[in-house]
Amino acid sequence: MKWYYLDIYGESEAELFEKVASMGLTGVSFPREEGAHLRIYFHSLKEREMVIKALYGSFDFEVGEEDDKDWVRQVEEGYEPVRAGRFVVVPTNLTPLFIKPGMAFGTGYHSSTRIALKLIDSEVNGSFKKSVDLGCGSGILSIALYRKGIKPIFAVDNDPLALKETKENLERNGINSGVYVVGGDLLSFFKAGVKFDLVVANLVLPIFETCLSEIAGHMESNGLFVASGITVAERSHFLDLLEANSFKIVALLEEDGWIGTAAVFRGN
């Protein structure tokens, strides 16, 4: 089924909505930094032209047509959280992660953290059976994995402060089981035969240089490795490291001078 739409733009949201409502019409509102944007759908071009004539001169218009789809979901995806004082309104299509800013790294404000979260969102699903978050910091990536349906998760860090904050943030997010907080240097806690099918690590290049072969040794064949914390200048060197350790890139993101990758382990 084909729908014909009319996008109406105005300076005053109240004025636009009142005018449209007075005509017995309904539409969907899209977020906009300034002014108002309302979209109305019609079954026929004749209906749309009648509305354009009635509103002509008062508002700006754009027209188009689309195949039938889930309009409610489309509108939801256009909304971002809104802050009002200490309140934050989070649209239902988003997944909130509650992180108290502290001394441990990982509040979501740094590009490397956001890249890792985006890769987890796009590349990770609930099929993974055992995962580890290396250098967990605040625990934000472990919480994101948990929200994606991953269990068990081992959150590892050698900083006692980070371990404390991870535990506090897990509790803050209502996570009481399924995430095990472990103190140690990366994979030193685990025996040689322990394998993971998912490893996430937001670290820095010098650490990856010394531990990537060890990470590969603890990965299942076809397991997924999500890595962030690499600068754009270090990109080529890091990609060479991945290839040398039998990883194949399946996704790469860049933001504000930082990159992150999702790679499948092809070893064993």
Q: Let me know if residue 98 belongs to a domain.
A: no
Q: Let me know if residue 49 belongs to a domain.
A: yes
191 Cβ contact partners less than 8 Å away, ≥ 6 residues apart: none
Report the domain count for the chain: 2
Claim to verify: residue 228 and residue 142 sit in the same structural domain: yes
Pick from 230, 229, 201, 233: nearest CA to 214: 201
pLDDT, average across residues 26-40: 78
Q: For 75-81, which contacts have Cβ atoms below 8 Å and span 24 or more sequence positions?
A: 75/28, 75/29, 75/30, 78/30, 78/31, 79/31, 80/31
Claim to verify: residue 38 and residue 144 sit in the same structural domain: no
Claim to verify: residue 32 and residue 118 sit in the same structural domain: no
Claim to verify: residue 41 and residue 117 sit in the same structural domain: no
pLDDT of 105 higher than 70 = no
Q: Which amino acid is at 32?
A: R
Claim to verify: residue 62 and residue 147 sit in the same structural domain: no
Tell me which range, 12-26, 57-71, 140-154, is most confidently predicted by mean pLDDT.
140-154
Q: Let me know if residue 257 belongs to a domain.
A: yes
Q: Let me know if residue 217 belongs to a domain.
A: yes
Claim to verify: residue 83 and residue 148 sit in the same structural domain: no
Task: Report the mean per-residue pLDDT for the chain.
Answer: 85
Q: Which amino acid is at 102?
A: G
Count CB-CB contacts under 10 A for residue 179.
24
Claim to verify: residue 69 and residue 117 sit in the same structural domain: no
Q: Give the residue numbers spanning the domain of 51.
A: 2-89
Q: Let me know if residue 224 belongs to a domain.
A: yes
First to last CA, the chain: 51
Q: What pTM was estimated for this model as a whole?
A: 0.71
The DSSP bridge pattern shows strands 153-157 and 82-84 to be: unpaired
The DSSP bridge pattern shows strands 219-231 and 247-255 to be: unpaired
CATH classification of the domain holding 169: 3.40.50.150
Claim to verify: residue 119 and residue 174 sit in the same structural domain: yes
Tell me how far apart the alpha carbons of residues 93 and 87 are, in angstroms, rounded to a whole number: 18
Name the pLDDT band for 56 (thresholds 50, 70, 90). confident
Q: Let me know if residue 248 belongs to a domain.
A: yes
Name the pLDDT band for 71 (thresholds 50, 70, 90). low
CATH classification of the domain holding 12: 3.30.70
Claim to verify: residue 261 and residue 147 sit in the same structural domain: yes
Q: Which amino acid is at 224?
A: L
* 9: helix, strand or coil: strand
Q: End of a domain among 29, 55, 89? A: 89
Q: Which residue has the higher pLDDT, 145 or 21?
A: 145
pLDDT at position 239:
95
Claim to verify: residue 129 and residue 221 sit in the same structural domain: yes
pLDDT, average across residues 235-261: 94
Q: Let me know if residue 202 belongs to a domain.
A: yes
Q: Let me know if residue 75 belongs to a domain.
A: yes
Claim to verify: residue 58 and residue 153 sit in the same structural domain: no
Q: What is the pLDDT of residues 107-133, one digit of tens each?
A: 666 888 889 999 999 999 888 999 999
pLDDT of 215 higher than 60 = yes
Claim to verify: residue 169 and residue 254 sit in the same structural domain: yes
Pick from 135, 153, 157, 158: nearest CA to 143: 153
Tell me how far apart the alpha carbons of residues 62 and 222 are, in angstroms, rounded to a whole number: 48
DSSP 187-211: TTTS-TT--EEEEEEE--HHHHHHH
pLDDT of 92 higher than 60 = no
Name the pLDDT band for 39 (thresholds 50, 70, 90). confident
Pick from 105, 99, 101: nearest CA to 135: 105
Q: What Cα–Cα distance (Å) separates residue 40 from each residue in 8, 126, 133?
A: 8, 38, 46
Q: End of a domain among 89, 124, 146? A: 89
- Phi/psi for 59 (5° steps) reads -140, 165
